[in-house]
A and B are shown apart, each in its own frame.
Chain A
Amino acid sequence: MANVVYLVPLFPLIGFLINGIFWKKMPKSLGGAIGTVAILASFIVSLGVFFEVKSASFHGPLTVTLFDFISTGNIHIPFAFQVDALSSLFLLIITGVGTLIHLYSTSYMHDDEGMVKYFAYLNLFVFSMLLLVLGANYLIMFIGWEGVGLCSYLLIGFWFKNRDYTNAAKKAFVMNRIGDLGFLVGMLLVLFNFGTLTYLDFFGKLGDASLIIPKSTYNWIALCFFIGATGKSAQIPLYTWLPDAMAGPTPVSALIHAATMVTAGIYMIARSGALYSLTPSILHIIAVVGLLTAILAATIAIRQYDIKKVLAYSTVSQLGFMFLALGVGAYTTAVFHVMTHAFFKALLFLGSGSVIHAMGGEQDIRNMGGLGKHMRVTQATFFVGCLAIAGIPGLSGFFSKDEILAATFAHSTLLYALALIAAMMTAFYMFRLYVLTFNGKFRGTEEQHHHLHESPAAMTIPLVILAILSIVGGYVGLPSVISEHNTFATYLSPVVHNFSHHHLSHGTEWGLMGLSVTVVIIMIAIAYAVHSKPKFKESTGIAKLLENKWYMDEIYDALIVKPIEGISNALDKFVDRHGIDGIVNGVGKTVRWGGDRLRMLQTGQVGTYIFIMVMGIVVLFTISFFWIK
């Protein structure tokens, strides 16, 4: 099955082409069906690949070369796929969650006139994402990397008539581009120093002493790749696009901005684990950036009222956790969290989509409340999601998050303390969201109240499936205190393994678990207590600061966007038109002016003319006799 791995991206591509070319004439439901079936087919192939990789007969990574992509001089970059544990796992996550979200979308988007186009974009996204994870070299990853950025752009701006939405789309693309530039530079450095972009060659040469490559070069490469990751995975300083990206349809947020695309950065660093192992200083930076992002996003999420914005900041925060894990060397753990997060965050987003669907497009939780009575399935699944993300034992999020905390503790106590605070905040804002949405009394308009209903089966089935996954997904990676046999880590071990020098005793681990569970439960309780009878008033002080997202967008605007615009305007108006072009035109003007002056010599007077001649004679004689010699 692994030999035909190219089928995995091929199906979405075909789906994209069919929907993309015939989008105008295709019936909506057919378009949806084609899109969904394409991903389902991919999922099935992915399953086959996964099990083949899992089987004992599979030895090492398998490279499937399609054709020569760029070949010049002594550089050969093939268009090739690499099948190994990591890529096959991501295949499963992408196609699996993807199938569910496609299914969900068939219902969610049914009233939208651009539904076929939507599915085309979605298929294209899945195709790009699959390229990203399947590529056997950085260039193919980069193709997918930029491809998912493009699809994200297209889907955020899906309702293109709204300028705000298209602005958000543009912002996302540009922010991603900044990161992509980092990736590109890293790639060029690799190519320049190692002459290859293929993972296996590159990693093979990493320790090669015959290549005289300074240590700093490794650091630069690692840093550049990480910059790429901060763009795609919404880390400080490039995170601000992700909350804005909620302008797109909700399933898109679920698929792209929660479950798959944003985890590309984690995938990339995990993929390059061999490199990062050699650059501890960069890993340290990653840990700090990840943690800061986790905290910053969590603080903002506390004071948001838009249901999707809360989830968006929560995603940023969770991604921060993953980077923290990477930073402390717990690659497997990070990937584990990617997987569990994909389940519960997709679940939460889809749940919020269901809520928004029921509310007729309303997203402000101040106008919700008491929805649980009307939509039981949504409420239940959403609750599972909240529990999972908060880290209640027994659910998937608990296992993955706890592993991160443990790894962090092993690395540094300070980082652990901060991470724990972030985790506490997570529990608080998630349950604030849950309580405000589903409990209490309905605060919306009468019309909305009348309209409230449970979503159709096509939407609830994915919710249920994802809820189940959110519960059981964690059991593949039980912590060592519970089970010595970590299935997940074992599966990934040929490609990725945790890189940590510290080992915690079982006692400590139990203690940490107990601590985190305790604080989380306390936070949940507080959230319930504070929000069961909500009062919304103009916030002040720090609350206002949080509500306005620390004014990050405004700061960026003032520090970067405005100056660039100002400089550009100045360049355009003054330097280009009057400066450079002014000089060019000035030459012409000078000639004309000179012509006018010289013309005046032509007085029409013979006397003047002879005078000029005589002066000419005098001057030339002087030059000739007294100046040259």
Chain B
Amino acid sequence: MILLFLILVPLLSGILSFSVKGSAAKTLALISSMITLGLSAYVSATNYKEAIVFSCEWIPMLGTQFSLVADGMSSMLCLLTGIVSLVVFLTNLDKDTEAPGSFNGFMLLSQAGLMGVFLATDALVFYVFWELALIPVYFLCSRWGGEKRIPVTFKFFVYTFVGSLMLLAGLIYLSLQTPGTVSYAWADIVAAGNALPATTQQGLFWLIFIAFAIKMPIFPFHTWQPDAYEQSPTPVTIILSALMVKMGLYAVLRWLLPVLPMGVALWSNFVVILSVIGIVYASCIAIVQTDIKRLVAYSSIAHMGLMSAAAFSANAIGMHGIMVQMFNHGINITGMWLIVSMIENRWGTRDMTKMGGMASVAPRMAIALVIISLANIALPLTNGFVGEFMLFNGLFAGDHSAPQIGIMVLAGLGIILGAVYTLNMIQKTAYGNTTEMVISKDLSVNEYAGLAIIIAVILYLGVYPKPLLDLTAGMIGG
């Protein structure tokens, strides 16, 4: 039942929020997200050894059940969703959002969708939530976004929608292959997928993979992302980059790798190559960005590239690393976007060449920026390091043939280039002489609180990652 509440609380409060005006809507969202965080924390704390299950009838004749399972990975991601949502609503408290009721309503609805995606253990339920998380984001970006919001959001929506439709086709096919009649239960889908011949698995692999690849996004399916991030309002960007892209990775781990082992085995090298190319490619592009949002967007692509590369390297430590890194990257990128939005607010521009001197005028912000950036480039004793170390472990654990070494070198280049663009950003925004600011004030109380949560998590998990590792340890066989 508690799992159902995880979805229902944001869903109902989201619907309610549409009819609430002004600051009451903000309070409602905050309270709702606190409750959700509490629930997800409870779920995470209680299911160390045994997964929590919820199930009820939905459309029995289509073989689908409304069943939710919170195992380590799911509850970890729910926890992430909870934290990120709370921080987003917290930092958004003093922002002037047009029609906050609708805004928060959509935000909460997308949160509900995300929870559903992470918890669903029935393929059709999963698909429904997968789409459902997207629609509110579409409205959020289109209504509250930047100048070019409508075409950009539209492209993003259509792009991801194409992917999801492919996914649907794949899932339908799989559901028909299940033993007995049609079934969408995870276990049945896995059994059906495993039983298929290799050629069929390959076809299905591409159908399903493209959906996830677009969502993550993996090079070269990424071009919707920088534009979408650039044009979205910050809270939405956070939802997109911290949570939505995790949907893709989560889906790979849950609905692709176990389901089509032969298809994956045949194509994993290809995907790994794509991913590492993506790392270097996105990092290079990030280096020359002057728009701070685009920079962070490309950095996110690079990070996701590393995660997907590790995901397809089929290695237990790598898998564990991905789960850790999903959480960590979610936290870090949230912090990153928060800072970026504060910078944008204060300087009134996203052009980094027109910024500077934050360390003098807003030192707290600068400190937060530095800490979060360092977590972003995986400096030890920040949470980013633990995950990336394990990811690299996963990548390096294969054979050491020449192509494999090439992959490692490329992935490694990402570390160096990552430092370059991140430090560039710090230098251009925080250092140098003060340039003109629109609002010259350091962090406000709620921003401070939001960033404090982020930084606390960054440092805590950087020094003592054991809780996170333990939570997800059950997910890797043996």
Contact = CB atoms under 8 A, between A and B. Distances in A.
Interface of A: 24, 67-73, 75, 139, 142-143, 145-147, 150, 153, 157, 160-161, 163, 166-167, 169-170, 173-174, 177-178, 180-181, 184-185, 188-189, 191-192, 564-565, 567-569, 571-572, 575-576, 580-581, 584-585, 588
A161 B159 contact: no
B320 A72 contact: yes
Given A143-B380, A160-B359, A174-B419, A576 B285 contact: yes
Contact of A564 (B284, B380, B396): B284
25 contacts: A67-B466, A70-B469, A71-B466, A71-B469, A72-B320, A72-B469, A73-B316, A73-B476, A143-B381, A147-B381, A157-B427, A157-B431, A163-B431, A170-B427, A174-B420, A181-B412, A185-B396, A192-B393, A192-B397, A564-B287, A568-B284, A568-B288, A580-B222, A580-B223, A584-B224
A142 B385 CA distance: 11
Interface in B399-440: 408, 412, 415-416, 419-420, 423-424, 427, 430-433
A572 B288 contact: yes
B415 A184 contact: yes
A150 B379 contact: yes
Contacts of A24: 363
B243 interface: no
A13 B389 CA distance: 24
A177 B397 contact: no
A19 to B, nearest CB: 13
Contacts of B412: 181, 184-185
Contacts of A169: 423
B174 interface: no
A488 B380 CA distance: 33
B419 A161 contact: no
A167 B427 contact: yes
A568 B288 CA distance: 6
Given A565-B287, A581-B223, 15 more contacts: A67-B464, A72-B316, A72-B473, A139-B389, A173-B419, A177-B416, A184-B412, A184-B415, A188-B392, A191-B393, A564-B284, A571-B281, A571-B285, A588-B155, A588-B158
B154 to A, nearest CB: 9
A177 B159 CA distance: 37
Nearest to A179: B416
Q: Which 6 A-B residue pairings sit nearest by Cβ, starting from the closest?
A: A143-B380, A581-B223, A568-B284, A160-B431, A188-B396, A568-B288
Contact of A567 (B284, B469, B476): B284
A191 B393 CA distance: 8
B357 A161 contact: yes
Contacts of B155: 584-585, 588
A157 B469 CA distance: 36
Contact of A146 (B379, B386, B396): B379
Contact of A565 (B288, B415, B427, B473): B288
Interface in B440-478: 464-466, 469, 473, 476, 478
A167 B420 CA distance: 11
Interface residues of B, number: 53
Interface in B143-190: 155, 158-159
A570 to B, nearest CB: 9
Interface of B: 155, 158-159, 220, 222-224, 281, 284-285, 287-289, 316-317, 320-321, 357, 359-360, 363, 374, 379-381, 385-386, 389-390, 392-393, 396-397, 408, 412, 415-416, 419-420, 423-424, 427, 430-433, 464-466, 469, 473, 476, 478
B392 A72 contact: no
Contact of B432 (A161, A174, A189, A567): A161
Summarize B's interface: helix, strand, loop or mixed.
helix
B419 A177 contact: yes
A580 B159 CA distance: 13
A147 B223 CA distance: 35
A569 B427 CA distance: 20
Contacts of B423: 153, 169-170, 173-174
Contacts of B466: 67-69, 71
A145 B357 CA distance: 29
Summarize A's interface: helix, strand, loop or mixed.
helix
Residue with the greatest number of chain B CB neighbours at <10 A, chosen from A72, A145, A185, A191 = A72
A166 B431 contact: yes
Nearest to A581: B223
Contacts of B424: 170
B433 A177 contact: no
A188 B381 CA distance: 18
A146 B223 contact: no
Contacts of B224: 584
Contact of B431 (A161, A174, A567): A161
Contacts of A565: 287-288
Contacts of A71: 466, 469
A39 to B, nearest CB: 20
A584 B223 contact: yes
A575 B281 CA distance: 10
A181 B285 contact: no
Contacts of A161: 357, 360, 431-433
A572 B285 contact: yes
B389 A70 contact: yes
A69 B158 CA distance: 44
Contacts of A191: 393
Given A161-B431, A584-B155, A146 B380 contact: yes
A481 B158 CA distance: 82
A142 B469 CA distance: 20
A73 B386 CA distance: 15
Contacts of A568: 284-285, 287-288
Contact of B317 (A73, A163, A170): A73
B369 to A, nearest CB: 12
Residue with the greatest number of chain B CB neighbours at <10 A, chosen from A142, A571, A572 = A572
B162 to A, nearest CB: 9
A135 to B, nearest CB: 11
A70 B472 CA distance: 13
Contacts of B363: 24
Contacts of A188: 392-393, 396
Contacts of B408: 185
B366 to A, nearest CB: 9
Residue with the greatest number of chain B CB neighbours at <10 A, chosen from A70, A143, A150, A567 = A70
A73 B420 CA distance: 33
Given A170-B424, A588-B155, A572 B289 contact: yes
Contacts of B374: 150
Given A71-B469, A170-B424, A576-B285, A184 B392 contact: yes
B468 to A, nearest CB: 11
A180 B392 CA distance: 14
A567 B281 CA distance: 10
Contacts of A181: 412, 415-416
A584 B224 CA distance: 9
Contacts of B158: 588
A589 B183 CA distance: 39
Residue with the greatest number of chain A CB neighbours at <10 A, chosen from B159, B287, B380, B473 = B380
Contacts of A75: 317, 393
B153 to A, nearest CB: 14
Contacts of B357: 161
Contacts of A189: 396
Nearest to B358: A160
Nearest to A217: B400
Nearest to A565: B288
Contacts of B379: 146-147, 150
Contacts of B220: 580
Contacts of B289: 572
A72 B476 contact: yes
B396 A192 contact: yes
A143 B432 CA distance: 29
A568 B433 CA distance: 27
A185 B380 CA distance: 15
Contacts of A564: 284, 287
